Chain A
Amino acid sequence: MSRCGWHHGLHVLLCLGLLWLAAAGAAAQTQTVRIHAAQALVSDSPDFPAAQSAPLVALPDAWSLSRPGSDGPVWYRLTFTAPGLRENGELLALFIEHVCSNLQVHLNGQLIHSGGRMHEPITRNCNHPQLISLPSGLIGPGLNSLDLKVVGHALQRVASVHRAGALSALVIGPQSVLADRHARQLALNVAVPQALSAMLLLLGSFMFVLGWTRRRESHLGYFGALSVGWALIESRLWLRDLPFDNATAELLLCAVLPLLTWASVQFLLRFAQYRHRGIDIALPLQALVMPATLLLAGPERLYAMASFWYVLLPLQTLAAAGFCLSTQYRAQRPSFWPMALLLCMATLALVAQYAAQIFGIRGLTMQLAQIAAPVTVMLVGLLLLKEQGPAPAAAEDNKAHLESRIREATAEIERNFTQLAELRVEKVTERERKRIAADLHDDLGAKLLTIVHTSDSERISTLAREALEEMRLSVRGLTGKPVRLIDALGDWRAEVVSRLGQAGIEADWSAPAEELPQTLSARAFVQTTRILREAISNVIKHSGATHCSLRCDLADGDMHIVVRDNGNGIPMELDGRLDRGHGMASMKHRAKQLQGQCLVESGPGYGTVIRLTLPLNRATELA
């Protein structure tokens, strides 16, 4: 007796971490009386049937052993004397650890307590310990009789030993002492499982929604279903008065079990990333078959049939757990060890509950198993959440990565588009230039040509010819590609030398002969060609020279061209400027356009020197 109370305290301390004062229980031991036997009689009479002889039965009294097949009601009578217990005038109480399903208590013939409805549907108090205060006024100085009317169900009509009709040993003692024991029992049997199931309901719903929205994480959904199902089973702790009879209640309770199996097996398989179509079909089917077999077996064989399923269903879950663990082990997933630990815990809890079921053990083992199972489920839930935790972060990273990729791609597309647009513009421009060039040649060119060859005036012919040459150069500047400097020098040499040769002037050309990497833009080439052409024209027309030298050098990024003749030189204007029909202004203007300069030195009898300096880089890139 004392051992029992002390143990309870210790275990509660261990299991729940609540600081209960075990010493208080120990001090009270001497004042409580445990009753191990009572007169018992099956009768539905409103009072204890004193007329009939009632045999003495030992308590706890399990009806399945003492009166198999009986649904009661059973009247129990016990007698006690109060003096020892009433010494200090304390309130007395009766504590019943387990009575199933319900009871009424009479003290000395007076009804002092009712646990609820005594007829179908009977209030289900199997999990609820009873504490009944014994009114002091009703307790006599001599023998007092305490009558208990217990209603319940035969074992075969319930699915669990714990819900079969039974009455545990009784304890009478000071109410203050027993209240503590009652509170502890109530906490272990009801309050803690209730709290756990409430938490499971929350966690399960959350996980279920999570699994539902993320189809790739279907194991979360099944886990949610498992948690919610568990909470559903535990709802019997909240609902003691059901609106339907025992058979229906038992059937409904049993029908949840294959659903739980379905959820747990699928959770374990999906967690191991395994999916099998047969299993997908078989499990829901089982959830239909199981209640069907119970119905077929009828309420009289409910316990036998349920026992069969009690073996089968946990085995399925165990097999799935084994499979899940082995794949996790092979895949070396980091969640293996915690998962293995939790599944072992769950298995132990399952085995303990199973053993309790078979051997009808009540008490600590049963209570711990009852608490351990939902705790395990919750821990698994937390483990899953921990695994899921990094997922949003990873998704966030992925999203950021994707977004940056998209940004890059967009930028590239925009770049390409711009390039394409530029290309198109260039292409259109090029086409337009060619068209303009063709038009110029066909119209203006033809007309100028006609003037060249039909005009009677030599001056007009020459002007028209020059205009034609200008036009052609302009067109080339308009449409041309960059010209390699070495090629440009070749072209200039050919023109200069042959023109001077035709005019009978000795020509001396010198230019770098090696391979030159520079290029000239079409415009720079054309402008330089014009300047040279003008200079040579001047030599031919005005200088009267017999010799003309032309030197081209490259130095410091500049191109220097010096045209020197031995002619008469250019006569000074009145204002000191060299020009008048010699095109000096246009030569200088063109050189300026190329960011260069054109200097003319001349004196009567000294000939003329034209120094042309063009910045090669500018001429190459710009112009």
Chain B
Amino acid sequence: MNSILLLEDLPEIRAWLSSLVVQVFPGAQIAEAARVHDALGLVSAIKFDLALVDLGLPDGSGVDVVAALREHQPETQSVVVTIHDDDEHLFPALQAGAFGYILKEQARELIIEQLQRISQGEPPLSPSIARRVMAYFTAKSKPQPMSASSASIPHVSLTDRETEVLLRVAKGYTLPEIGVQLTLSRHTIADYVKQIYRKLNVSSRAEAALEAQRMGLFGR
């Protein structure tokens, strides 16, 4: 982790997060931004390895920055750092390509641990988010009228294992517990979760593209 984007509007919290990032990733370059506009400017100029993005910002939503990163720097790991723990706020960010989220008010040590895990490829997943993801893919898998345009879009669906993991997360089991239940290693479970996040993003993007096509934005 050499280059890190930090988007947060509250100065104290930004400074606190910055100190935290320095502690986790010593020697990393940290680019700070307080507004969406500034962050987008940075995204077009600098290549980031990690981005910590707040959602509620004075000039818009951090979701746009997550989407821009996904678009221009697919390798960057976006993590939502927010005060909202409800899926109403989080789900759009996850769809836009965020790999997990961190609740800001948690104790310093907890956040450090989560950051480390995320950087190691173990994003967190709460029961309510898991339910939301399942509902999303269930709705998608329902038979839809086929058309020429929808056929050209890759159909993304979850594997049985991924669904199994989601189901267990939704019931309140922690990832290590699920690993024990499925006799899988902690890393394998983490991979499933990452894969689920990725598929959510891909599917959402495909859906957005299809929607745009439907509305005649392109493909005329």
Do A and B pair up? The answer is yes
Neighbouring A residues of B104 by C-beta, 8 Å: 449, 453
* Contact between chains at B174 and A497 (CB < 8 Å): yes
Q: Given A453-B12, A453-B16, A491-B172, do A497 and B83 touch, yes or no (CB 8 Å)?
A: no
Q: Annotate A452-492 by CB proximity to B: 1 below 8 A, 0 otherwise.
A: 11100000000011001100100010000000001101111
Does B16 contact A490, Cβ atoms closer than 8 Å?
no
Q: Are B84 and A449 in contact (CB under 8 A)?
A: no
Question: Is B13 a contact of A453 with CB atoms below 8 Å?
Answer: yes
Of residues 172 through 212 on chain B, the ones whose CB sits less than 8 Å from some CB of chain A are 172-174, 177
State how many angstroms separate the Cβ of B173 from the closest Cβ of chain A.
Answer: 7
A211 adjacent to chain B (CB < 8 Å): no
Would A498 and B174 be within 8 Å (CB), given that A454-B12, A465-B105, A491-B127 are in contact? yes
Q: Which of A453, A487, A497 contacts B131 (CB 8 A)?
A: A487
Q: Is A442 an interface residue (CB 8 A)?
A: yes
Complex Cα gap A497–B83 (Å):
22
User: Which residue in B16, B85, B86, B171 is a CB contact (below 8 Å) of A454?
Assistant: B16
Q: B92 near A: Cβ within 8 Å? A: no
A449 touches B171 (CB 8 A): no
User: B190 → chain A, closest Cβ, in Å?
Assistant: 15
Q: Contact between A441 and B84 (Cβ–Cβ < 8 Å)?
A: yes
Q: Is A243 an interface residue (CB 8 A)?
A: no
Q: Are A494 and B126 in contact (CB under 8 A)?
A: yes
Q: Which of A453, A472, A493 lies in contact with B85, CB distance below 8 A?
A: A472
Within 8 A of A (CB), among B41-95: 56, 83-86
How far does the Cβ of B125 sit from chain A's closest Cβ, in whole Å? 10
| Complex alpha-carbon distance, A492 and B173, angstroms | 10
- Interface: A571 (CB within 8 A): no
B1-17: CB near A (< 8 Å → 1, else 0) gives 00000000010110010
Within residues 112 to 142 of chain B, which ones have a CB less than 8 A from any CB in chain A? 126-128, 131
Known: A441-B84, A487-B127, A494-B126. A501 touches B174 (CB 8 A): yes
How many whole Å from B62's CB to the nearest CB in chain A? 14
Q: Which residues of A contact B28 (CB under 8 A)?
A: none
- Residues of B near A126 (CB, < 8 A) are none
Given A441-B83, A442-B56: A491 and B128 within 8 A (CB)?
A: yes
Residues of A contacting B170 with CB < 8 Å? 487, 490
Q: Which residue of A lies closest to B167 (CB)?
A: A490
Q: Are B83 and A490 in contact (CB under 8 A)?
A: no
Instruction: Given A441-B83, A442-B56, A465-B105, answer yes or no on A490-B172 (Cβ-Cβ < 8 Å).
Output: yes
Determine which residue in B16, B105, B126 has the highest number of CB atoms from chain A within 10 A of its CB, and name it: B105
Asked whether A446 and B10 contact (CB < 8 A) given A454-B16, A494-B172, A501-B174, the answer is yes
Picked from A442, A465, A493, the residue with its CB within 8 Å of the CB of B173 is A493
Complex Cα spacing A189 to B16, Å: 127
Q: Is A570 interfacial (CB-CB < 8 Å)?
A: no
Give the nearest-CB partner of A476 in chain B. B86
Q: Is the interface of A mostly helix, strand, loop or mixed?
A: helix
Q: Does A129 contact B (CB under 8 A)?
A: no
Known: A468-B105, A476-B86, A487-B131. A449 touches B10 (CB 8 A): yes
Q: Are B83 and A446 touching (Cβ within 8 A)?
A: yes
Chain A residue at minimum C-beta to C-beta distance from B82: A441
Q: Once bound together, how far apart are the Cα atoms of A493 and B171, in whole Å? A: 8
Interface residue from A438, A491, A502 paired with B110 (Cβ < 8 Å):
A502
Contact B127 A450 (CB under 8 A): no
Instruction: List, in ascending order, chain A residues with CB within 8 A of B16's CB.
Output: 453-454
A 407-428 to B, binary, CB cutoff 8 A, 1 in contact else 0: 0000000000000000000000
| Known contacts A487-B170, A493-B171, A501-B174; A449/B86 CB under 8 A | no
Q: Which A residue sits closest to B111, measured CB to CB? A: A453
Complex interface: chain A residues within 8 A of B85 (CB): 472
Q: Which residue on chain A has the smallest CB distance to residue B128?
A: A491
CA A4 – CA B12 in complex, angstroms?
A: 137
Q: Does A269 count as interface, using CB distance less than 8 angstroms?
A: no
A469 to B105, CA, bound (A): 9
Residues of B within 8 A of A490 (CB): 127, 131, 170-172
0/1 interface trace, chain A 425-445, chain B, CB 8 Å (1 if under): 000000000000010011001
The reply to whether A449 and B127 contact each other, CB–CB distance below 8 Å, is no
* In the complex, chain B residues whose CB is within 8 Å of the CB of A448: 105
Assembled-state Cα–Cα distance A486/B170 (Å): 9
A-side contacts of B84, CB under 8 Å: 441, 472
Cross-interface CB contact of A452 among B105, B172, B174, cutoff 8 Å: B105
A497: which B residues are within 8 A, CB to CB? 172-174, 177
Q: Is there an interface contact between A489 and B172, defined as CB atoms closer than 8 Å? A: yes
| Cα A446 to Cα B170 with chains together (Å) | 29
Measured in the bound complex, the distance between the Cα atoms of B117 and A498 in whole Å is 15
Task: Give Cα A487–Cα B131 distance, bound, in whole angstroms.
Answer: 8
Residues of A within 8 A of B (CB): 438, 441-442, 445-446, 448-450, 452-454, 464-465, 468-469, 472, 476, 486-487, 489-494, 497-498, 501-502, 509, 513
Given contacts A472-B83, A491-B128, A497-B177, list 19 more A-B pairs with CB under 8 A: A441-B83, A446-B83, A449-B13, A449-B83, A450-B10, A454-B16, A468-B83, A469-B105, A472-B84, A487-B128, A487-B131, A489-B172, A490-B127, A490-B170, A493-B171, A493-B172, A494-B127, A494-B172, A494-B173
15 contacts between A and B (CB under 8 A): A449-B13, A449-B104, A450-B10, A450-B12, A450-B13, A453-B104, A454-B12, A465-B107, A468-B83, A487-B131, A490-B127, A492-B172, A493-B172, A494-B174, A497-B173
